Structure formats: C-alpha cells, structure tokens
Amino acid sequence: MKITIERGALLKSLSHVQSVVERRNTIPILSNVLIQASGGALSFTATDLDMEIVESLVADVIEEGGTTAPAHTLYDIVRKLPDGSQVQLESGGKDPRLMLRAGRSEFALACLPREDFPVLSAGELPHSFAIEAKELAKLIDKSKFAISMEETRYYLNGIYFHVTDGKSPKLRAVATDGHRLARVETDAPKGSESMPGIIVPRKTVLEISRLIEDGDGPVQVAVSDAKIRFEFDGAVLTSKLIDGTFPDYNRVIPDGNDKVLAVNGKEFSQAVDRVATISTEKSRAVKLNLERGRLGLAVTNPESGNANEEILVDYNADPMEIGFNARYLLDITSQLDGEEARFLLADAGAPTIVRDAKDDAVLYVLMPMRV
C-alpha cells in the first residue's frame, strides 16, 4: 500500500476513529486502526468489539493494499504535523512496518497483519430511516448529560430512543440517572415508526455526536433489536445496543404539578451558579424560596458561611420552599435555548418539571433534595 493524502482530511478521520479505540487493551490488535487503500479511496476501521467505525475518504492511491497500526500513536503524529502538509503512508515493502512521511519527518510504526483485525458483523438491520443531522444532534445533545454512569443500573447507561404511538408519532430520546430525566422529541422520521425501543450506549452516543457535529444533511440510521448503524459523510458507525429494559419513564413525569414558576433562564442560571460557590463539595444544595413575584436562592454551608440572592420572577401560587442540587439545576438550564424557563412544581418532596417556554420538544424532570 502506498497513498498520499492532505493532513487536514487525515486528521479529521483519525480523530473520529481514535476515540473508538480504548486506551487500554488486553488484545493488542484492538489498539490498532485498520488502514485499507483501494480504488481511489482510503478507509480506516476501528473497533472496541462493541462498536465499530469505518471512515472512507478520497486519497491519492499509488498502490493498493492495507495494514493495521497503533491508532493513538498515528493520530498523535498526524496532529503534530504542520498544517497543510502532504502525508504519505506506505506499507508492504521491504520494511514490515508502516512508513509515514511528511516533509522532512519520517516515522516507522510497528504493524499487525490486517487479516487478524476483528470484524463486527451487523447482521440484518430491518428498520431504517433518515434523520437530519441537526435534529439527531439536538435529540442527543439535550439529553446526554442525564445518562447514568452507575454500572449496577446498566440499562440507564445510554439514551433510550423510541417512537410514540398516535396520529403524529414522535421519535423520543430519553435519559435518566435517577436524579434527573431528560426527554427530547422530534417528529418521527418516515420509516422509524416500526422501530423497537432501543438503548444506545453512552460511548456510541458520544461518538455519533462527534461525527455529526456541525454537519448538515441526512444521517442514515438502521436498527435491529441488538444493533444500530449510523451513516454520515463517509463514516459508518455500527454499535451493539444495551441489552436491557428501560424503565417506564412516563410514570416518573408528574402531571399534576400546578405551581408554575417562570424565570429568565440566563438570570436564574447565573444566580444559582453564584450562590452555589459556597456550597459544600458533597451536597451542592441550593434552597429555592418561592413567594409571589420573587424567588430567593439560598445556600448554607456550616463550614464556610451562607449566600442569598433574590430574583424577580413570575410566580402566583402559594409560597413554598424546595431544594435542588445546584449542578443538576445548571445542567438543565444550560440546555434551554429560549429566554424563559418554566418550572412546574408540586411540593418540596416531589419531582419538578422544567421546560423551555418556547420549545415543547424538550422536557426535564428533576428530583428535589432534602434541605
């Protein structure tokens, strides 16, 4: 194999590919990226056995062939090459290693035979549809912060995608860690209606969100009970799904919360952030004091002191006090694009709903804290 390619294009592909590769591997070849050149195209394949990415790009192929080389090392080298340089990759000559040349730099990297590289078979993916990159990005970006990291509840370690029943079905992305829940929806794309409910693992979610970042155009999605595949802009990402049952999240979303608090989202976030400065590392509790037309924010830390701030809000129900984890509040308010955030409350012990006044597509549920 012998190819020449511009550094910028190579770097972009390698950056997608290297993030799939785990930093530590017990199987050596999993640290490598499979490089193949044929026709006028160069392709990179990386896998962690749960997920596989194949990215193809146009290159000047002088001699067809392929090999596997350490993904992180390759990425680091290309990252450090000067902008605009032409990179040459060569393998299969006298030297058993992969030769990388650019300008006056030359690297020889240890390789493993490409025949040993594992292939993730996707199997049949019966449900397929297309979704605009921006729509998919919104579903993911506005819900991923709520994904649980708790290994004992593995079925929460991803985003749950499913399509609602009814006349105008919606494609929903739901994530929760037990403290907060995020639900984002969009009109169900044609062909997605028959899709089963699936849990896409966190690593796959982050990878696809990197892939479609700032991108435009449709993403092709294909789904089975066990796997999902995304195709976008020359890249194909195939991943196993989490084999588990996502809890019935509708039970968690209260419908009788009648106390409405409307605040300016930005003003509120800044105030929460300010008072939370003195909260303890462990608790991060902020107390909200609601009265007609005003909201008091208070943090008490027995060791360092206390903080109070008041903001003018739209609130007409009975006065109440409720506590939240400041970090969770900020996580949610930072997802709201509109000016006004709406809190729907019941009482100090019950889940609270947070919505964007301008955007019905997003809904958050937050569990209060004892304060």
- Looking only at the bridges linking them, the beta strands covering 127-132 and 105-109 are unpaired
Determine if 149 is a binding residue for other proteins (CB under 8 A): yes
169 sits near other proteins (criterion: CB under 8 A): no
Contact with other proteins (CB under 8 A): which of 127, 180, 183, 259?
180
Sign for the pseudo-dihedral over CA of 107, 109, 114, 117: negative
Q: In one letter, which amino acid is 203? A: K
Question: How deeply is 139 buried, as exposed, middle or buried, from its count of CB atoms within 10 A (0-12, 13-18, 19+)?
Answer: buried
Q: Which of 93, 96, 113, 178 lies at the binding interface for other proteins (CB under 8 A)?
A: 178
- Contact pick of 249, 257, 340, 361 for other proteins (by CB under 8 A): 249
Which residue, 214 or 303, has its beta carbon nearer to other proteins?
303
| Binding string, residues 214-243; x marks residues near other proteins by CB under 8 A | ------------------------------
Min CB(51)–other proteins separation in Å: 21
Give dist(CA 62, CA 115) in Å, integer: 22
Cβ distance 9 to 57 under 8 Å?
Answer: yes
Residue closer to other proteins by CB (options 19, 176) is 176
CA distances from 277 to 283, 298, 306, 327, 330 (A): 12, 11, 10, 11, 13
Rounded to 5°, angle at Cα 183 from 291 and 263: 25
Task: Indicate which single residue of 11, 109, 112, 252 sits in contact with other proteins (rule: CB under 8 A).
Answer: 252
Is 202 one of the binding residues for other proteins (CB under 8 A)?
no
Residue 332 interacting with other proteins (CB under 8 A): no
Closest of 88, 87, 45 to residue 67, by C-alpha: 45
CB nearer to other proteins: pick between 179 and 240? 179
Interface pick for other proteins out of 26, 152, 168, 250 (rule CB under 8 A): 152
Chain contacts with other proteins (rule: CB under 8 A): 148-153, 156, 176-181, 247, 249, 252, 282-283, 349, 351, 365, 367, 369-370
